[in-house]
Amino acid sequence: MSKQFEGKTVVVTGGSKGIGRGIAKVFSEKGANVAIIARNLEEATKTAKELQGEHNSVNAYNADVTSNFSLEQVAQAIANDLGAIDIVCANAGIFPSASIEEMTEDQWNRVQNVNAKGTFFTVKAFLPYVKKADFGRFIVTSSITGPITGYAGWSHYGASKAAQLGFMRTAALELAKDNITINAVSPGNVFTEGLDGLGQDYLNSMAAAIPFKRLGTVEDIGHAAAFFASKEAGFVTGQTLVVDGGQILPESIE
């Protein structure tokens, strides 16, 4: 039996670890040829080897999403290697912490550049290729933090994650004429290398705040991305799917 994404090419920025790795894993298991992008090529190559399926390819590429030129180069390289590009997941992101009182202009700019401008550059660089697909798909990894919730130390991060959604809604209007959808997944707290760096106390307090009493897995986010990428989701665009185990729902502490 053929797999759901057999013959499709999927690009995942920030695919070397964390949520991006989970997205790449799900698409690889569903038969897609996957191109993962990160700045650290060695790490990305190791991940690509681990995710390689029996009948599909997983390749690693080096690019920095804060550079339009870098993304244009990598889009060309992926198209040369794999032929077509059907689905692009703009997932790369950073979440350093700084209070408003301590935050420097450089720290603010860095977060906007990777998370918000990086999403714009990713869509812009891959659009000429995705336009050629039967049905193209862009999937953005946003967050509950910013669009829905706040968290002390993440004002710059929250602003960047809300900016992604504002960008996405207008992009949905512009891309519709080319039969391309763009949607966003907004994860709650998902256990990743990046989140692990915030410490065990943070992880414990977050798990306690989630009705399912666990952090999300990277595959939880990968399956949501696969829904938006499916042929069957072709009439869904400009939307956001929160995947958070009910974290944003409680009105009070039990």
Catalytic residues: 157
**Site of interaction with ligand NAP (CB under 6 A):** 13-14, 16-20, 38-40, 43, 64-66, 91-95, 114, 141, 143, 187, 189-190, 192-195
User: How many CB atoms are closer than 10 A to CB 212?
Assistant: 12
Q: Outline where DSSP puts E strands in the chain.
A: 9-13, 33-38, 58-62, 87-90, 136-141, 180-187, 240-243
List 59's β-bridge partners, or say none. Answer: 35
Q: Which is nearer to ligand NAP, 53 or 118 (CB)?
A: 118
Nearer residue to ligand NAP within complex by CB, 175 or 243: 243
User: Whose Cβ is closer to ligand NAP: residue 3's or residue 239's?
Assistant: 239
Backbone angles phi, psi at 49, to 5 degrees: -60, -40
What is the DSSP pairing of strand 240-243 with strand 180-187? Answer: parallel
Structure tokens at 61: 């590429």
Q: Which of 28, 21, 15, 91 is nearest to 58 (CA)?
A: 28
In whole angstroms, the minimum distance from the beta carbon of 106 to ligand NAP comes to 15
- How far is 109 from 223, CA to CA, in rounded Å? 31
Element at 162 (helix H, strand E): helix 155-175
Q: How far is the CB of 196 from ligand NAP (least distance, A)?
A: 8
**Could you tell me the CA-to-CA distances from 206 to 28, 64, 171, 199, 246 in Å, in that order?**
30, 30, 33, 11, 12
What is the rounded CA–CA span in Å between residue 209 and residue 203?
Answer: 10
CB of 179 to ligand NAP, least distance (A): 26
Q: Among residues 86 and 220, whose Cβ is nearest to ligand NAP?
A: 220
The least distance separating ligand NAP from the CB of residue 2, rounded to whole angstroms, comes to: 30
Name the residue among 77, 11, 82, 22 with its Cα closest to residue 218.
Answer: 22
Select 29 or 43, whichever has its Cβ closest to ligand NAP. Answer: 43
How many residues make up the chain in this entry? 254
The CB-of-39 to ligand NAP minimum distance in angstroms stands at 3
